[in-house]
């Protein structure tokens, strides 16, 4: 009991850290990027012909299912934080996200008298996001060298790998799924700050949901059945300030 009492009364690390008005730092993390799909009503009844299915040796085809496949990626960013009193901060955290997303299709093709079911046909969509998030952070009471927090905000997204500006090529055999370059997203998260003698480390979980439809719809079996695509991203972040 004596040792426990002594430890509970030790001086906290960086006791004046939160008295500073402005803080800067950086962060690293892992992300999982995927899509929320909204399909057109009765999409499985649509018939697609040769010019709409150039990757298949078929006269026509039907799409029966499409799903987004989560992929892991890497995040790096910088932190600038302005304290608003004891419990609130405004944060600006520009970041780069590197990942790849996939759409997986089940397609039934018809060639003369042959019928073939092609399952799990994948389209890869590289993503390199340059994000500009602004959010408000609410901090709980500091518990010795740890402090819980939550935050909400919005971010502007630029997808540097998006190809919506590329003109459609009717003779192209390998169809590219094209997304628009810019998006606007809602973001929220929870985490803990841990205080050390020379810096503060945060561990947090973030979720963001894109608010705009980013799909460029073209006349092919991969995009025509989809009414809209919205971006979803989950992140595990480690901050150092």
pLDDT truncated to tens, each residue of the chain (241 aa)?
A: 344 444 445 888 888 888 899 999 999 999 999 899 999 999 999 999 988 998 998 999 999 999 999 889 999 999 999 999 899 999 999 999 999 889 999 999 999 888 888 999 999 998 999 999 999 999 999 999 999 999 999 999 999 988 877 766 556 668 889 999 999 999 999 999 999 998 999 999 999 999 999 999 888 999 999 999 999 999 999 999 9
Q: What is the pTM of this model?
A: 0.85
Quick one: pLDDT at residue 170? 59
Quick one: pLDDT at residue 10? 83
Quick one: pLDDT at residue 167? 67
Residues 6 or more apart from 27 whose CB is under 8 A from it?
Answer: 75, 76, 77, 78, 79, 93, 95, 202, 237, 238, 239, 240
Question: Which tokens is 42 given?
Answer: 């009765």
Find the Cα–Cα–Cα–Cα dihedral 78, 82, 85, 86, rounded to 10°.
20
Quick one: pLDDT at residue 172? 64
Quick one: pLDDT at residue 169? 59
Q: How far apart are CA 155 and CA 187, in angstroms?
A: 7
Taken in order 179, 185, 189, 195, the sign of the CA dihedral is positive
Beta strand extents in 70-195 (DSSP E only): 71-84, 88-92, 95-111, 114-139, 146-159, 182-195
Quick one: pLDDT at residue 187? 97
Domain 22-240: top CATH class = mainly beta
Quick one: pLDDT at residue 225? 94
């Amino acid at each position: 009991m004596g040792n426990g009492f002594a430890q509970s009364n030790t001086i906290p690390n960086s006791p004046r850290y939160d008295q500073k008005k402005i803080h800067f730092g950086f962060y690293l993390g892992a992300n999982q990027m995927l899509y929320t799909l909204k399909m057109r009503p009765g999409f499985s009844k649509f018939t697609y012909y040769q010019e709409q299915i150039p990757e298949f040796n078929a006269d026509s085809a039907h799409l029966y299912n499409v799903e987004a496949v989560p992929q892991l990626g890497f995040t790096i960013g910088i932190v600038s934080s302005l304290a608003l009193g004891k419990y609130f901060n405004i944060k600006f955290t520009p970041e780069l996200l590197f990942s790849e997303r996939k759409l997986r299709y089940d397609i039934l093709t018809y060639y003369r008298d042959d019928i073939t079911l092609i399952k799990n046909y994948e389209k890869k969509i590289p993503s390199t996001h340059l994000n500009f998030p602004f959010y408000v952070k609410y901090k709980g009471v500091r518990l010795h060298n740890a402090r819980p927090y939550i935050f909400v905000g919005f971010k502007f997204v630029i997808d540097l790998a998006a190809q919506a500006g590329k003109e459609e090529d009717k003779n192209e055999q390998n169809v590219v799924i094209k997304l628009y370059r810019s998006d606007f997203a809602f973001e929220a998260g929870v985490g803990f700050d841990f205080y050390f003698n020379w810096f503060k480390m945060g561990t947090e979980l973030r979720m963001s949901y894109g608010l705009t439809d980013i799909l460029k719809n073209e006349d092919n079996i991969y995009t025509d059945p989809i009414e809209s695509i919205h971006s979803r991203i989950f992140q595990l972040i480690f901050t150092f300030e």
